[in-house]
A = this chain, B = another copy of it.
């Protein structure tokens, strides 16, 4: 019989989630200094617990810490965003390759269903921003899970995901290439259905590269 670990949520856990959300959504501004006494007071918690939470945020590259100087929310930059896309291209490319090998037929079927829903929503909303914001993430998320590589899953869904979300939030990155992205998702799913790892990786990498170029264009306009 499985011994279900009692999912106790520690104070530090909750604090970490709260702060992560606040940082990602810009509530605590990018680049701002974090005052331990003040934050601890605001959340009605001791500095010790807060420091543990900050440690985790640091591990996820959401804050940077210097000894005796304290922690600052990471400063968003064009250069770092490009770096993140390069890492994503490598990791998600591998994820797609592995997903083509390891996803179950059932999972592939469900992904197909999800994509159909996206198609409908695009028609209805006439290519609105919904897709980029949630649908795109859902799709990628499932493929990463389908890789069945826990290390890869952790890297993408825990570490990179939130940083990327932070950029999306604060740089206002909804794009109008939703229908193009939809097509790309479609081709990619075909490759996975055909159990073609090589092609799946290729298409995923192209997909991410084109979305990087899209971001590059957008940022150059500002």
Contacts and interface: CB of A to CB of B under 8 A. Distances in A.
A86 to B, nearest CB: 6
Interface string A36-71: 000000000000100110011001010000111100
Interface in A67-105: 67-69, 80, 83-84, 86-87, 89-91, 93-94, 98
Contacts of A68: 8, 10
Task: Kindly report how many copies of this chain are found in the complex they form together.
Answer: 2
A151 interface: yes
Interface residues of A, number: 33
A200 to B, nearest CB: 13
A9 interface: yes
A220 B10 CA distance: 41
6 contacts: A9-B67, A55-B55, A80-B151, A86-B149, A87-B151, A87-B152
Interface of A: 5, 8-10, 13, 48, 51-52, 55-56, 59, 61, 66-69, 80, 83-84, 86-87, 89-91, 93-94, 98, 149-152, 154-155
